[in-house]
């Protein structure tokens, strides 16, 4: 059996569709480029038939990514399959990923189809997809709650119709590791032709076993694992790419397989995704959390100082965690600046490069040392080429103290016109936000989260602020970046309000 496990990343599809994790086109391309540098085997770029925006995102990823297979999800119908193929047809290696549920509860209540109808649909639609594209994956949705005998028939139907990969998802996070391994082994031993294609696993984390179930699938003979960066995804999330890969890498003697992943790119990819969705890694998150390689207990510290392997089963360097060094300074030119950003995984348009370089020069006047973290923050927060219309910050002032109410005057610009207002608040940020509210007059919403963190080390570090607003079941994330935390806060709040206002505006026919 093949001793290499392919990594199928669905951050841009399953991960992105979870609440609060949506990305715009530029952000999706940034993630796709970083996944390519990470050397994942397959990027599932989205669900092309779900919306015009998703179609354009899948197409953009397929057109630009050359080092990976690019897949689009499709239901078992011709409209979805046609949309998927049109979106990915220019990919270096296009894949159509067709799915249909096979569990009794899904067939009865969602599909309202009999077993015979499901088998016919699988055979017909996989064959139709195969007429469009040579690389076809079939997923039996809710496979782990399916009757094994029927699941075997569904897998056989997909293989006979031309599927190259068959995925066995634990769609609702119900399975245990022993059950997952037994199911993969059962299919390999039961279904004719099953050992001639790749079996895949796709596990959700509702009971906290997504990574364990994925690895059990590998032990059972699965040779593709579907996962997401940081484990983001619907409900409790998906199997975490970094956990699956580092488990395989660290326990080679147990799993007897390898992946193509460049593990030294894991940390930067993880941080990029966290920053795009406006979140930070939990301190105890395996592999990438702030405490993943921290040792406080005296006995642990003594052991690590004597030999790191006493308490560390992998090194920080193996996942790309290292101390940032100064990479550029105030006298650096645009060519060196652009070259370093490309090395870090960012490809900017001429307009974006010009804007980003101008911000770099401003930062160079404020900071003595510019680190990779600073450069990545500038690139993440660059002005989009397709900048949405809305308010922008022109200037602000604040007056605050511990014995008086804070006062803020804010001036915003929109379509060349200036708007100014003043407000009192419980602190400078609150006062500034209230002044912004007076100008922008946002629709009713709730304030979900406000977080700030330093981008790099030192007193002169950039501060990155993330503001999340909620309206009904939609979240709107805004980010701001500045050496002045108040300015970063205002920028983040304005960005979130612009998205909220645009979403709330009625669509005119």
Q: Is residue 459 very low, low, confident or very high in pLDDT (cuts 50, 70, 90)? A: low
* pLDDT tops 50 at residue 324: no
Average pLDDT, the chain: 90
Domain of 314 in residue numbering reads as 293-319
User: Structural domain tally of the chain?
Assistant: 4
Does the residue 387 lie in any domain?
Answer: no
Residues 162 and 63 reside in one and the same domain? yes
pLDDT given for residue 37 in this prediction:
96
CB within 8 Å of 125: residues ≥ 6 apart: 76, 77, 78, 81, 98, 100
Position of tokens 């960005």?
495
Residues 398 and 456 reside in one and the same domain? yes
Residues 51 and 111 reside in one and the same domain? yes
Residues 201 and 126 reside in one and the same domain? yes
**Contact indicator for 440, 466 with CB cutoff of 8 Å:** no
Does the residue 78 lie in any domain?
Answer: yes
C-alpha 477/C-alpha 471 separation (Å) is 12
Sheet holding 417-425, edge to edge: 392-401, 404-414, 417-425
- Percent of the chain past pLDDT 70, that is, above it, reads 92
Biggest distance spanned by C-alpha atoms of the chain = 79
pLDDT given for residue 413 in this prediction:
94
Token pair in block for residue 60: 């953009």
**Contact indicator for 465, 451 with CB cutoff of 8 Å:** yes
H helices present in 162-196, as ranges: 177-190
Does the residue 223 lie in any domain?
Answer: yes
Measured from the Cβ of residue 279, the count of other Cβ atoms closer than 10 Å reads 18
pLDDT given for residue 185 in this prediction:
98
Q: What is the pLDDT of residues 441-454, one digit of tens each?
A: 999 999 998 988 88
Q: Distances in Å between the alpha carbon of 407 and those of 57, 168, 426, 438, 507?
A: 43, 59, 9, 14, 37
* pLDDT tops 70 at residue 73: yes
Mean pLDDT of 275-292: 87
Residues 44 and 122 reside in one and the same domain? yes
Q: What is the pLDDT of residues 420-438, one digit of tens each?
A: 999 999 999 999 999 999 9
Q: Is residue 470 very low, low, confident or very high in pLDDT (cuts 50, 70, 90)? A: very high
**Contact indicator for 496, 445 with CB cutoff of 8 Å:** no
CATH number (domain holding residue 201): 3.20.20.70
Residues 370 and 471 reside in one and the same domain? no
Does the residue 287 lie in any domain?
Answer: no
Residues 444 and 371 reside in one and the same domain? no
Name which residue leads in pLDDT, 273 or 372: 273
* pLDDT tops 60 at residue 188: yes
Q: DSSP assignment of 318-370, as one string?
A: GGT-------B-TT--HHHHHHHHHHTT----HHHHHHHHHHHHHHHHH-S-B
Residues 101 and 250 reside in one and the same domain? yes
Q: Is residue 506 very low, low, confident or very high in pLDDT (cuts 50, 70, 90)? A: low
Residues 310 and 345 reside in one and the same domain? no
Does the residue 286 lie in any domain?
Answer: no
CATH number (domain holding residue 411): 3.30.160.270
**Contact indicator for 165, 133 with CB cutoff of 8 Å:** no
Name which residue leads in pLDDT, 367 or 175: 175
Does the residue 230 lie in any domain?
Answer: yes
What phi, psi does 96 have (nearest 5°)?
-100, 125
Residues 52 and 171 reside in one and the same domain? yes
* pLDDT tops 80 at residue 70: yes
For the chain, give the number of residues. 509
Q: What is the pLDDT of residues 286-316, one digit of tens each?
A: 999 888 886 444 444 445 455 666 667 888 8
pLDDT given for residue 462 in this prediction:
84
C-alpha 284/C-alpha 270 separation (Å) is 14
* pLDDT tops 70 at residue 370: yes
The four Cα atoms 86, 87, 92, 96 give a dihedral, to 10 degrees, of: -80
Residues 11 and 145 reside in one and the same domain? yes
**Contact indicator for 270, 230 with CB cutoff of 8 Å:** yes
Residues 134 and 259 reside in one and the same domain? yes
3-class DSSP state of 435: helix
Does the residue 326 lie in any domain?
Answer: no
Does the residue 25 lie in any domain?
Answer: yes
Mean pLDDT of 104-115: 97
* pLDDT tops 90 at residue 126: yes
């Amino acid at each position: 059996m093949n001793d290499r496990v392919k990594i199928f990343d669905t951050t841009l599809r399953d991960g992105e569709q979870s609440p609060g994790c949506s990305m715009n086109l530029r952000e999706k391309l940034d993630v796709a480029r970083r996944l390519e540098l990470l050397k994942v085997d397959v990027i599932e770029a989205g669900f092309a038939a779900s919306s015009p925006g998703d179609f354009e995102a899948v197409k953009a990823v397929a057109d630009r990514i050359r080092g990976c297979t690019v897949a689009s999800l499709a239901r078992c119908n011709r409209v979805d399959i046609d949309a998927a193929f049109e979106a990915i047809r220019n990919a270096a290696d296009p894949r159509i990923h067709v799915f249909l549920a096979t569990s009794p509860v899904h067939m009865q209540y969602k599909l309202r189809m009999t077993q015979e109808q499901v088998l016919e649909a699988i055979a017909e639609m996989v064959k139709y997809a195969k007429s469009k594209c040579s690389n076809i994956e079939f997923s039996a949705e809710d496979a782990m709650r399916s009757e094994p005998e029927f699941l075997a028939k569904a897998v056989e139907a997909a293989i006979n119709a031309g599927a190259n990969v068959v995925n066995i998802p634990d769609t609702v996070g119900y399975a245990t590791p022993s059950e997952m391994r037994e199911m993969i082994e059962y299919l390999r031993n039961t279904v004719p032709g099953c050992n001639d294609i790749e079996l895949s696993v796709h596990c959700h984390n509702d009971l906290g076993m997504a990574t364990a179930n994925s690895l059990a699938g590998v032990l059972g003979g699965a040779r593709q694992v579907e996962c997401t960066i940081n484990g983001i995804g619907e409900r409790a999330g998906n199997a975490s790419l970094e956990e699956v890969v580092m488990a395989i890498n660290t326990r080679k003697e147990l799993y007897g397989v390898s992946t193509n992943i460049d593990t030294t790119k894991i940390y930067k990819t993880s941080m990029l995704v966290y920053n795009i969705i406006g979140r930070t890694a939990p301190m105890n998150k395996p592999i990438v959390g702030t405490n993943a390689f921290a040792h406080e207990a005296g006995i642990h510290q003594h052991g690590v100082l004597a030999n790191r392997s006493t308490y560390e089963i992998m090194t920080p360097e193996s996942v790309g965690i290292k101390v940032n060094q100064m990479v550029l300074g105030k006298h650096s030119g645009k060519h060196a600046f652009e070259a370093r950003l490309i090395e870090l995984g960012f490809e900017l348009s001429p307009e974006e490069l010009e804007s980003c370089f101008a911000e770099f020069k401003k930062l160079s006047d404020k900071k003595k040392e510019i680190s990779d973290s600073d450069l990545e923050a500038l690139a993440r927060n660059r002005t989009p080429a397709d900048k949405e219309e809305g308010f922008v910050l022109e200037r602000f002032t604040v007056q605050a103290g511990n014995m008086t109410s804070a006062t803020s005057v804010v001036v915003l610009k929109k379509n060349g016109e200036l708007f100014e207002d003043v407000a009192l608040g419980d602190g400078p940020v609150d006062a500034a936000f209230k002044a912004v509210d007076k100008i922008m007059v946002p629709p009713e919403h709730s304030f979900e989260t406000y977080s700030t963190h330093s981008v790099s080390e030192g007193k002169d570090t950039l501060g990155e602020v993330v503001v999340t607003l909620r309206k009904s079941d939609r979240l709107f994330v805004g980010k701001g970046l500045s050496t002045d935390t108040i300015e970063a806060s205002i920028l983040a709040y304005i960005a979130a309000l612009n998205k909220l206002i645009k979403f709330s505006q009625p669509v005119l026919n």
